[in-house]
Amino acid sequence: MKRDHIILIHAIFWAVTLVSIGLQVIPSIGNKTWDVIAIDFSIYIISFVSFFYLFYFFISQKHLYKKKIFLLIIYGLLFTIIVTIPVTYLYIYLLLQNVMEMTGRRFFLNFGKNYIGFFETNFMFAVSGSLIKIAFLWYNNTMKQKEAEKQLISVELALLRSQVNPRFLLNTLAYIRSLIERSPEKAIYSIENLSEIMSYMLYETSAGKVPLNNEINYINNYLKLLEVRYPPGYIAFEVAGEASGLKVPPLLFMPFLESTFSTAQEDSPVRPGISITLLLNGNGLIFAVTNYISDRSEGLKDEKAVSLSSIKRFLDLEFGESYTLETMEENNKSIVKLNIKLL
C-alpha cells in the first residue's frame, strides 16, 4: 500500500476518534476548569495514541501466523493490565492533588473506577492498532502474491510461445534446404515468406496484444509457406467479419496450426484436407480448424492430445473464463473450435 494512502487512513481514524472523544467529554465538563479539562483530555489522548502505535509498530509479518496471533493476544492483555496501572495513578494524581491524603478505601474506589475505564479504552486502541497493521500487512501480501502470479504467468506464457518458434523455424529451414536442389524457385518463394514471418515474430510480437489484422497476415504468410509442401487446394483459409480495432495475444493461432499440420496427410482424397476459418462478430471471434483424418491417424491422436493440452494451458493464462475450446471428430474429420470473447 502506498505511503500516502496509509497516512490518509491514519488521519481519518484519528479525526473520527477525536470527534468521538470530544462528544463524550463535552457533556461531562460541568464546572471543570479549562486546565483540568486540558489535563484530562491530554492524558487520554497520550495514553490512547501510545497504546495504538506501540502495538501498530510491534506487529510484523511473523504475527500473521495463528500461533503467533494467540501469543500476541496474551502478551497484549498482560501489557495493558500492567502499563495501565501507572497511567491511572498519574491521571488521579494530576487531577486530584490531594491523592496522598486520601484514605485507602477512597483511593482504591477512585483508582478502580478510573483503571477500568483506562484499561478498556487502552486495550481497545491496542487492538485497533494491531488490526489496522494486520490489515495493511494482509493487503501488501495479497498485492505481492498477485504481482508474483502475474510475473509467473508472463514467464509461463513466454515459455509456451518459445516452444512454438524454434520448432517451426527448424522444420521450415530443413524443408527449404530440401527444395534448393529440386525446386530453386519454390525455395526462393519459401524464403521470402519465411522472411515475412520472422520479421513479424522478431519485431511485432513483444507486445502483450497485437492487431488482429497482423495475426491474419501472419497466418496467410504461414500458410503460403506450407502450401508448397501439399497438393493444390489442400489448404483453405477464410476470414469473415471485420477485424479492425480488435487485438489479440501475438501468435495466438500458431499452436493450433502447428498441431493440425503435424497430423496432416498429404495423400488425403478430401479437398480441402485442412480448412481454417476465422469468424468475427463484434468483440467475439470463432477460430475453427477442420482436418481430414483416416484410420492411419489413430497413432497421432495421443500426440495431438498432448499438444492441445499445452494449448489449453496457454488459453487459460491468456483468457481465463472468456473462452471455450471444443474438439470433436465426425465423418473422418477432426474439428477444433476456439470461441473467444475479446474484452
pLDDT, tens digit, for every residue of 202-223?
A: 788 777 789 999 999 999 998 9
Q: What percent of the chain has pLDDT over 70?
A: 76
Q: Give, as one character, the DSSP assignment of residue 263.
A: T
Cell output for 193: 515468406
Spell out the long-range contacts of 180-186 with Cβ–Cβ below 8 A and sequence spacing 24 or more.
183/228, 186/228
Cell output for 122: 487502552
pLDDT, residue 228, reads 82
Cell output for 264: 496432416
Q: What is the CA radius of gyration of the chain?
A: 37
Instruction: Say whether pLDDT at 33 is over 80.
Output: no
Domain ranges of the chain: 3-143, 231-341
Using DSSP, how many helices (H) and how many strands (E) does the chain show?
Answer: 8, 7
Closest CA to 207 of 242, 167, 158: 158
pLDDT, residue 115, reads 77
Q: Provide mean pLDDT across the span 52-70.
A: 71
Instruction: Say whether pLDDT at 232 is over 60.
Output: yes
Q: Provide mean pLDDT across the span 253-269.
A: 79
> Measured between alpha carbons, how far is 72 from 129 in angstroms, rounded to an integer?
13
Binning pLDDT at 50, 70 and 90, where does residue 108 land?
low
Q: Provide mean pLDDT across the span 54-72.
A: 70
Most confident among 112-126, 165-179, 241-255, 290-304 (mean pLDDT): 241-255
pTM greater than 0.95 (yes/no): no
User: How many other C-beta atoms lie within 10 A of the C-beta of residue 94?
Assistant: 14
Instruction: Say whether pLDDT at 237 is over 90.
Output: yes
pLDDT, residue 35, reads 65
Q: What percent of the chain has pLDDT over 90?
A: 14
Instruction: Say whether pLDDT at 286 is over 90.
Output: yes
Binning pLDDT at 50, 70 and 90, where does residue 174 land?
confident
Instruction: Say whether pLDDT at 255 is over 90.
Output: no
Condensed to tens digits (0 to 9), the pLDDT of residues 138-166 reads 888 888 877 777 776 666 666 656 555 56
pLDDT, residue 291, reads 87
As assigned by CATH, the class of the 231-341 domain is: alpha beta
